[in-house]
Amino acid sequence: MTAIITGAGGQLGRELVRLAPAGLRLVALDRAALDISNAAAVDAAFAAHAPDLVINAAAYNAVDLAETQADLAFAINRDGPANLAAAALAHGADLVHVSTDFVFAGRARRPYGVRHEPRPAGVYAASKRAGELAVLRTYPGALVARTAWVFSPFARNFLKAILQRLVTAGEAQVVTDQVGSPTAAGDLAQALWTLAARRVGGLHHVVNSGEASRFTFAQEIATQAARLGLVPADVRIVPVRTADLPATPARRPAYGVLDTRHTTRMLGAPLRPWREALSETLERIAAGES
């Protein structure tokens, strides 16, 4: 069996490569190797590698820059998945596409289920929702997996940003009024491999168990990181509200917790609690992974 990973240089892509099942012929393509927004390049990659499975971890994730780079955001987040869906359907390959909690408005008071109506706000969110629709309209049997607040030892993410701030400044201001589902890229990757092996299709939510505010998440990062010697013991996480900070070009959802019950039935068990996943990730960083 041959599997292509697109976006293989990002944090999820790297974890998908690390956790790929034994015996699989893996073709890991970063953006330099395959620009998914180029339909001809996508067709050439399918012709060259004849994949049985494609997992699309490529995405434009610059939430604020997207407000002024809409063409690029839509090219990567909408047109790219559409190209992959068309090629996968034509070649008889399974497709897994990764999306985000940002497709929801963020005004809910209970976790968003897969049947909840998306209401994206901002260019990034709209481009990701457009990618979901493009995939499912072109290839209804594909798997679209929404996730949230992804962290890992690699690339740019909230965890790495908090660690850097605590090391350089000794404290970090973090909002208390944004709540979501922290998710380890490795746990997400393992779940995607499992769902792909079971040929699950349709919309799914894949996040670690539990929820947290950005402030609570940062507090846990600081506590565990200090215990491992990654940051000084006397660092501080300072609570603020979103309105207290300078406005960003794109609005962040105030609430983005995802209901995973639909997906848990397919996996057989929920993903482990996010604090456990964070602990393992910080231990990997302490061991030198980054």
Tokens 């629709």 sit at which residue? 133
Helices (H), the chain: 11-18, 39-49, 70-74, 80-91, 123-138, 158-169, 185-197, 214-227, 261-267, 274-286
Catalytic residue among 60, 124, 139, 255: 124
Neighbours of 284 (CB within 10 A): 16
Distance CA 197, CA 53 (A): 9
Q: Is 112 a catalytic residue?
A: no
At 250, the amino acid letter reads: A
Phi-psi region of 229 (alpha: psi -120 to 50; beta: other; left: phi over 0): left
Distance CA 282, CA 223 (A): 11
- The pair phi, psi for residue 111, each rounded to 5°, is -55, 140
C-alpha distance from residue 259 to each of 70, 101, 116 (Å): 29, 11, 10
Q: What's CA 15's distance to the chain center, in Å?
A: 11
143: exposed, middle or buried (C-beta count within 10 Å: 0-12, 13-18, 19+)?
buried
Neighbours of 108 (CB within 10 A): 17
**Pairing between β-strand 183-184 and β-strand 53-56 as defined by DSSP bridges:** unpaired
Residues tagged active-site: 124
